[in-house]
Chain A
């Protein structure tokens, strides 16, 4: 018996990186997966390779959530798992507190925070409609829990996701819906997002990417970068009924980075 056998799952930002690994892991464990992404081409390619459904979506657009939930309930009759994974981390301008542009700040917030809020809001409605004791998993970051002056807006947005998660969990629990909500906090995971971060750091410090990688690695006690599957396994635990008494929590996959205090 697979660990999420027959459950209906939506994974946002599933075209690459963590979302792709999460979608694949849920599929391998028996779930039916609807993968969404703003990049139609990459999303469609990923979905056809995995053998799942693709839905073209801008998570910051509330209409897209209306449609996605209506489609999901019509096609599958239920929704059990929502993984709010879609997110961005950099703006067009700078990323430190002095050079961050308001429009970049707002854009990062609209995707990372409003996108997650909308996902939770519409997933709760859909899960209630089909009486699913569902699980919502929000991708936050260790950036929610420590200072990140080099990613000002991103860190603030991920802290908002953490706090939102607690309120969603408390609301659903106290309303007796049986819907759970938890946040996952990855550290340094090998994804296209991390590669971009290395590249930018290398450019701004005028050093090679390899030098940046070594410096980043020094900050990870386990001395290796995480793989997308490290995060996917944690999401799988939270998506499965194994975690049915777990709600409102924050779970780290960071190679020990935050054990320092």
Chain B
């Protein structure tokens, strides 16, 4: 069998949140395109399932993105194992909805810790790791369209994702300004049909009903699928995007293109 050269051939990619949803799909697509994948997640069973689905040289590393010690260990172990670390996909995230003033401090801190501090730590230790093995590296942070616009009942989530948007741009400039050879970009999905929506689905009579309601808000008429996001990640992970840094890539079925357009009667 002739092996076709993949778009991220031989790159080593670390994906957080690799046990499910968008993260798992990113692991699968990056591996299909030739990368060796470090599947990182707090969920060991799911992470091992991802590794099994990929096969090849992928490895699971248990990672709580809130733990700086674990980031140090995982980045250095990944480099020991694979010889380099070229791509970091910060995908691990949590969400909740509700009235803003009912947000408990505990929940506020919990979402900040995972969605924003976790991304900060990942970027920091990815950059520090490059001092050991300089590479042509790409950091991809999964933000959200809620990182570009406000949301009525997702203030805390939106605040974390807005933080990720600007953190990504500053990291891009910081790395470019010093010639470190590390790019950093953010991706902004609309609703993606993954496990993250399970608690939302529980509030509807069925998942289909939730999907229909959400799809109504998306001009293309459906929720995003994990693979839609994974292809954007693949582009940013590959050298095809060598001149792309500090940018926000939107994958939202047209949701942020503008106001609802129907001003005429049918």
Contact = CB atoms under 8 A, between A and B. Distances in A.
Interface residues of B, number: 39
A83 interface: no
A245 B224 contact: yes
Nearest to A258: B246
B257 A176 contact: no
Interface string B234-261: 1100001111111101111110111001
Given A174-B219, A221-B173, A226 B258 contact: no
B144 to A, nearest CB: 14
Interface string A154-169: 0000000000001101
B176 A247 contact: no
A244 B228 contact: yes
Nearest to A227: B243
Contact of A256 (B172, B254, B261): B172
Contact of A243 (B190, B231, B247, B257): B231
B243 A251 contact: no
B169 interface: yes
A254 interface: yes
Interface string A174-201: 1010101000000100000000000000
Contact of B245 (A170, A174, A236, A259): A259
Nearest to A186: B243
A248 B250 CA distance: 9
A249 B249 contact: yes
A248 B258 contact: yes
Task: Kindly name the residue among A167, A226, A237, A250 whose own CB sees the greatest number of chain B CB atoms within 10 A.
Answer: A237
B250 A249 contact: yes
Interface string A224-261: 10110010011011000011111111111111101111
Contacts of B235: 233-234, 237, 242
A166 B255 CA distance: 10
Contact of B247 (A176, A178, A259): A259
A211 interface: no
Contacts of A259: 169-170, 172-173, 245-247
A144 to B, nearest CB: 14
A171 interface: yes
B131 interface: no
A171 B176 CA distance: 38
A169 B231 contact: no
Interface in B148-197: 169-170, 172-173, 176-177, 179, 183, 190
B120 to A, nearest CB: 17
A117 B161 CA distance: 34
B220 interface: yes
Contact of B176 (A242, A243, A246, A256): A256
Contacts of A255: 176, 243, 245
Contacts of B246: 221, 252, 256, 258-259
A88 interface: no
Contacts of A226: 243
A221 B247 contact: no
B221 interface: yes
B225 interface: yes
Contacts of A246: 228, 232, 250-253
Contacts of A217: none
B176 A221 contact: yes
A226 B235 CA distance: 16
B262 interface: yes
A223 interface: yes
A244 B242 CA distance: 23
A256 B173 CA distance: 7
A183 to B, nearest CB: 10
Given A221-B177, A259-B169, A247 B219 contact: yes
B245 A222 contact: yes
A173 interface: yes
A237 B231 contact: yes
Given A221-B173, A245-B225, A259-B172, A173 B247 contact: no
A174 B244 contact: no
A252 B172 contact: no
Given A223-B176, A248-B219, A256 B240 contact: no
A170 B257 contact: yes
B128 to A, nearest CB: 20
Which 6 pairs show the lowest CB-CB distances between chains A and B? Answer: A259-B246, A248-B257, A173-B219, A221-B176, A233-B240, A242-B231
Interface of B: 169-170, 172-173, 176-177, 179, 183, 190, 219-222, 224-225, 228, 231-232, 234-235, 240-247, 249-254, 256-258, 261-262
